[in-house]
Amino acid sequence: MTTQFGLDSSEVGRLARLVRPGGSGGSDGSDGHDGPDSPDMPEVPVADVFARAAWTGIAEPGDAVAGLLVGYLGAATSLTAVLDSWSPAKLADAVKGVGAQVDPQLEAGIGQGLARWRPRLKSADIIRSMQQAQRVRAALLLPEDPLWPRAVDDLGAHAPLALWWRGVQAALAALPHSLALVGARAATGYGEHVAMEAAAGLVDRGFAIVSGAAYGIDGMAHRSALASRGLTVAFLAGGVDRFYPSGHDALLSRIADAGAVVSELPCGSAPTKWRFLQRNRLIAASSLATIVLEAGWRSGSLNTAGHAAALGRPLGAVPGPVTSPTSAGCHRLIREYDAFCVTNAAEMAELASPGLGAVELDLPLDDRPSDAGQRTSDQVRVLDALSARSPRPVADIARRAGLSVASVVSVLGLFGLEGVVREGAGGWLRSQSR
């Protein structure tokens, strides 16, 4: 019996075929399903398919060290290194062996990465997520695939290692000619009207609509695109098997039937604040331009705007009533960051014109509302991993947050001083008032 990644090789092949019907190492597809709209997939070695699927659950979205390792060594070798407990020095030597330059900072990052990934490396979790993907007819999209959205590669080391998706091929194929429409969850009637008109007008001009399926502006943009018989793609912050928000279950089901629902997280993954922020980079990267239709001064939509500008994508903002706090973020983008002022679908479509210069936007990528001031990414992830009711030990918090135990201990120490957390008999709790 031969083994791969600690499993029987035949089991690795079977699991790969579940999520890559007809596209894994010569499979005849008999162990899989037809997949989303029966996509044509190139043959990829089953070890690479399994490893890419595993990495989507081991590393948090946007993990640059994981991206570099997989890029240098391949997904299978990188996964083997984590499984076999390679030392940071051995892994750094392997990277040097393929001609890459390893500076002390990268070597230190590899050590920290290993501490983050190893607590999450459980074969049962990987198998369960792949089986669940097959149950909901989700497939794994790889960078080798014709339908892979090439624009997300502009994220470099922060690009997704793979994407999980449900839907029709045409929606993914339309991403190179798409615009992102984003905005406030607590949208006004004005904002929803603008979103409806914008999405319909852009669909009429042949554009696909990209958004995040949130309440408010996002949901209206998706609905209008569907009502206009257009293509729309929703990027999620959790697995494609658990639609979020729950109030948009019917809407996301319609998108999965006529468009595409996409995530870089495996099935079973819960959405968290950190994952929403990382999801926003995919919305911005996959589209020709991003338009903020309605947003408060500290709206999460400004995070998407920051990603768009950092990637060199054109950015538009729709003005609103000067007395409306829900348009203050749009006015901020126009006044302080030179976003293009757009008022209708025709002006939005102009943002997709080749050669249009991107705005210079020096807006922090983690700009967002916060109850306790600005938090670092580690702090956000620890807060996401804590419960206000069930005490959790440090090791469990580290696994949930995708951080090393040392990083979690450091954050908990600071939070303890602030009163954000408290230590109970069975572990740490988030304070009820926070």
pLDDT in tens, 125-136: 999 999 999 999
Count of residues making up the chain: 434
- Pick the more confident residue, 402 or 26: 402
Residue 77's closest CA among 116, 45, 111, 104?
Answer: 45
Looking at residue 367, its pLDDT comes to 41
pLDDT at residue 281 in the model: 96
- The whole-number pLDDT of residue 356 equals 57
Write out pLDDT tens, residues 139-153: 999 999 999 999 999
Q: What is the mean pLDDT of residues 36-58?
A: 84
State the pLDDT at residue 397: 87
State pLDDT tens for residues 274-301: 899 999 999 999 999 999 999 998 888 8
In tens, the pLDDT along 184-238 reads 999 999 999 999 999 999 999 999 999 999 999 999 999 999 999 999 999 999 9
User: 3-state DSSP call for residue 235?
Assistant: strand
Q: Are 149 and 260 in contact (CB under 8 A)?
A: no
**pLDDT at res. 103:** 81
CB atoms within 10 A of CB 108: 13
pLDDT surpasses 70 at 107: yes
pLDDT over 60 at 362, yes or no: no
Q: Which residues, at least 6 apart from 423, have a Cβ–Cβ distance to it below 8 Å?
A: 416, 429
Domain with CATH 1.10.10.10 in the chain: 377-430
Token pair belonging to 196: 């409806």
Q: At what angle do helices 104-117 and 88-97 cross, to 10 degrees?
A: 120
On the CB side of 155, how many CA atoms lie within 13 Å of its CA? 26
For residue 341, with 0-12 CB atoms within 10 Å meaning exposed, 13-18 middle and 19 or more buried, which class applies?
middle
Res. 373: pLDDT tops 60: no
What sections of 315-388 are H helices per DSSP?
Answer: 328-337, 345-350, 377-385
* CA distances (Å), origin 5, targets 2, 105, 162, 280: 10, 29, 19, 32
In angstroms, the CA 23 to CA 76 distance is 17
Angstrom distance (rounded) from CA 41 to CA 24? 8
Contact in structure between 376 and 392 (CB atoms under 8 Å): no
DSSP 357: P
**Cα separation of 367 and 301, whole Å?**
9
Strand pairing partners for 290? 180, 315
Give CA–CA dist 148/71, Å, rounded. Answer: 16
Residues carrying CATH 3.40.50.450, the chain? 147-350
For residues 377 and 162, the model is more confident at: 162
Q: If pLDDT is split at 50, 70 and 90, which confidence band does 376 have?
A: confident
d(CA 79, CA 85) in angstroms, rounded, equals 10
Domain 377-430 has CATH 3.40.630.30: no
Across the chain, mean pLDDT equals 87
d(CA 312, CA 314) in angstroms, rounded, equals 7
Q: Tell me the C-alpha distance between 137 and 35, whole Å.
A: 5
Query: Which SS3 state, helix, strand or coil, does residue 430 take?
Result: strand
Could you give phi then psi for residue 235, rounded to 5 degrees? Answer: -95, 130
Packing angle, helices 9-19 and 46-58, rounded to 10: 70
User: According to the model, what pLDDT value does residue 395 have?
Assistant: 85
- Listed in sequence order, the residues at least 6 apart from 373 whose beta carbon sits closer than 8 Å to its beta carbon are none
Q: Where would I find the beta strands (DSSP E) of 91-187?
A: 139-141, 163-167, 178-183
Contacts of 335 (CB under 8 A, 6+ apart): none
> Looking at the domain that runs over 147-350, which CATH code has it been given?
3.40.50.450
| For residues 63-77, average pLDDT | 94
- What local confidence, expressed as pLDDT, does residue 102 receive? 83
